[in-house]
Amino acid sequence: MSRALRRAARHKGMWVGGVIVLVWVVLALLAVPLTGWSPGTVDPDLALDYQSLPPSWLRSVELPPDVEPRRFLAGTDDGGNDVLGRVLYGARYSLVIGFVAVAISVALGVPLGLVSGYYGGRLDGLIMRCLDVVMAFPTILLAIGIVTVLGQSLTNLMIAVGLVGVPGVARQLRAQVLVVRELEYVQAARALGAGHLRVLGLHVLPNCLAPIIVLATLGTATAILETAGLGFVGLGPEPGTPEWGLMISESRNLISRAPWAVITPGAAIVLLVLGFNLVGDGLRDVLDPRGRA
């Protein structure tokens, strides 16, 4: 384990990714005090005055008289909202949905993969074929389908994104279980009188965790992307919520007049996904040194 830690300390990509993710978490928590924006803070009477202001650092237009010149680092959208404020606040949605969705994927995928790989035979065939069916659908299409069936809400969005990730987790774990279950210490545990559940929980699962940790991290990135995608097509939270995909969608008509309202949430998605991917790749290198070229 200490060797893994030393490898981790040297892995630059993982550090960069880790810092990005951490900064996003802090920004999401401090969004309101940092920018002064929170849902419902815009006075509807003043909204028109603040509509589509460019970012403060390239401001060439006449400002309404009561606007401080340094406000709105990323400009405002056509509702008069501070774009930066909404983006930082929106990180909460992405992070929470990402984590909850991955938790759902892992919670369902791990037992399926364990059972499938450990018992094998017909049960394995049945589970894997069912997952093949699920995997045959393009993920975003499947998520759209699930949201349509369950009804549109934040909870159902998380469930949909989570379910889409189940086959990946289950397959990865199954592959690992197939390796681990043939190891002598697993056989030894059986001979020593451990029941199947005990063997699975105490020997097989702990020795299969490394790929799951990697997959969960990379899966968070995917889940954030899928969430944004669903938000963009209008299957995410209700209109007006500062969810990144929805923000892009709602501001897409302004792309020529106020591009900052689209670019900022887009850049936020890229940055957060990049952060998780860097951490995931780093974890893979650290936890499984054989995979390195």
Partner 1 sequence: MTRPGEPPTVNIEDMIAAATAPRPPILEVRDLEMHFVKTKGIVFEREVGRIRAVNGVSFDLRPGETLGLVGESGCGKSTTARAVLQLHRPTAGQVLFEGRDLCATSGEELRKVRRHLQMIFQDPYASLDPRWTVESIIAEPLLNFGRPSRKELREKVRDLMITVGLDPDFASRYPHEFSGGQRQRIGIARALALEPRVVFCDEPVSALDVSIQAQIINLLEDLQAKLNLAFVFIAHNVAVVRHLSHRVAIMYLGRIVETADRDEIYENTRHPYSRALLSAVPIPDPKLERTRKRTLLEGNLPSPADVRTGCDFASRCPLRPQVDHDGRCERERPKLLPIAGKLSHLVACHFHEKQG
Binding site for partner 1 (CB under 8 A): 122, 125, 129, 183-185, 187-195, 198, 203, 206-207
Minimum Å distance from CB 218 to partner 1?
24
Of the pair 66, 184, the CB lying nearest partner 1 is at 184
Q: How far is the C-alpha of 215 from the C-alpha of 186, rounded, in Å?
A: 24
Q: How far apart are CB 125 and partner 1 at their closest, in Å?
A: 5
133 vs 141, beta carbon nearer partner 1: 133
Q: Which is nearer to partner 1, 187 or 253 (CB)?
A: 187
Nearer to partner 1, 86 or 171 (CB): 171
Q: Which is nearer to partner 1, 57 or 185 (CB)?
A: 185
In whole angstroms, the minimum distance from the beta carbon of 142 to partner 1 comes to 24
* Residue 206 or 291 having the CB closest to partner 1: 206
Q: Can you spell out the DSSP letters for the chain?
A: -HHHHHHHHH-HHHHHHHHHHHHHHHHHHTHHHHH---TT-S-HHHHHHHTTPPPGGG--SPPPTTS-TT--TT-B-TTS-BHHHHHHHHHHHHHHHHHHHHHHHHHHHHHHHHHHHHH-HHHHHHHHHHHHHHHHS-HHHHHHHHHHHH-SSHHHHHHHHHHHHHHHHHHHHHHHHHHHTTSHHHHHHHHTT--HHHIIIIIITGGGHHHHHHHHHHHHHHHHHHHHHHHHTT-SSPTT---HHHHHHHHGGGTTT-THHHHHHHHHHHHHHHHHHHHHHHHHHHH-GGG--
Q: Which is nearer to partner 1, 71 or 198 (CB)?
A: 198
How far apart are CB 126 and partner 1 at their closest, in Å?
Answer: 8
Rounded to a whole number of angstroms, the minimum distance from the CB of residue 116 to partner 1 is: 14
- How many Å apart are CA 243 and CA 230, to the nearest integer? 10
Give me the least distance between CB of 240 and partner 1, in Å please: 50
* Least gap, CB of 260 to partner 1 (angstroms): 51
